[in-house]
Amino acid sequence: MKIRKKVTAAKAAANKANSEKSTGPKSAQGKRNASRGSTKYGILTRNLLLPGESQTEFDQVQRQHIADFAPVGSGEFDYVEDYTWCYWRKRRLRHAETGEIAKVLCEFNPRAVLATSEHARPYLQAVADMKKLDKIEEQISVQARIGSENLDWLRKLDYGEAKDLVRMSELGREAEGRVNERSCGEVPPAAESQELTGAENAAMSPDDGGMVRDLLLSRLECLKKRICEETVYHGEYPPRKIEAIRNALHVPQDAVLDRLMRYENHLDKKMMNALQNLERLQRLRRGEEVPPPSARVG
């Protein structure tokens, strides 16, 4: 027989004083942890939701799973609880995937792509060339010729159409010079027998004096069409690249995707394990034959 020791008054007073020093947790997190001390099944717990998650929606999911699986006893409730939380975490996983994509899209800077694009400089150059050609076109329309400064600029362009325009302008100038020489009576004998080009005939014919202008404008139009194609090509490529990058970012990057997929596989395995164990318990409860668990190989 166990004999209980008598507690002296001094000891009782000391115990009472010590108990007043330990009255439970003080912080909010500590109080939340202590409040879960009497949880048996956890099926109706209210302390595992993350900020922003709806308690009402979570409770609705719990009630639906309880109605679907009809658990009886603590064992079955435990597996339904496991299944419910895995299901809820998979919902979080979808939100996490959406958040990762949204974060990357917010950090994506199209201006940086444009600034570093190899097409940016050719595009700006083509735009500047088109503005210069518009001024040359105005000069041809008024003067039926191209000034020396503009000819020097055209010679620097790396387009066959620009070289044709320069040659046409030079022929027009030569023809105009010969006409001026003939009008002054200084026509070289060799020039009289020389076959005249279309530009020379236009310059020498008062009735067809606009032919040189038309020929120059025609060559200029070919050059403008070529540079316009360059402008369209270099101008459309960066937006297409930006759109392609933005579409690629709709799938998480490798490291994030690997983390999400591993977490999803983990939850799938836990959900399947909970369902299989729940089914075994329910079949045992109904008195049905339950085969032994299959052994894993490897």
The label of the residue with tokens 């600029």 reads 153
The label of the residue with tokens 């325009």 reads 165
Is the confidence at residue 271, as pLDDT, over 90? yes
Mean pLDDT of 32-61: 67
Mean pLDDT of 259-275: 92
pLDDT digits (tens, 9 = 90+) for 52-85: 888 899 889 989 999 999 999 989 999 999 999 9
Among 135, 219, 127, residue whose Cα is nearest residue 172 = 219
pLDDT digits (tens, 9 = 90+) for 118-141: 888 888 889 999 999 999 999 988
Give whichever of 17-26, 112-121, 128-137 has the largest mean pLDDT. Answer: 128-137
Is the confidence at residue 15, as pLDDT, over 80? no
Q: How many Å apart are CA 277 and CA 11, to the nearest integer?
A: 52
Q: How many Å apart are CA 186 and CA 178, to the nearest integer?
A: 9
Q: Which conformational region is residue 85 in: left (phi greater than 0), alpha (psi within -120 to 50 degrees), or beta? A: alpha
Mean pLDDT of 75-100: 91
Mean pLDDT of 243-264: 88
CB-CB contact of 220 with 165 (8 Å): yes
The domain limits of the chain are 52-108+251-286, 119-248
pTM (2 decimals)? 0.50
Q: Which two tokens stand for residue 27?
A: 């912080």
Confidence grade of residue 34 (pLDDT, cut at 50, 70, 90): low
Give CA separation, 274 vs 70, 145, 155, 220, in Å.
Answer: 14, 89, 80, 78
Output Rg (C-alpha) for the chain, integer angstroms: 44
Per-residue b/e over 249-268, b at no fewer than 16 CB within 10 Å?
Answer: beebeeebeeebeeeeeebe
Confidence grade of residue 144 (pLDDT, cut at 50, 70, 90): confident
Among 13-22, 73-82, 98-107, 148-157, the least confident range: 13-22
Is the confidence at residue 39, as pLDDT, over 60? no
* Residue 179 pLDDT: 61
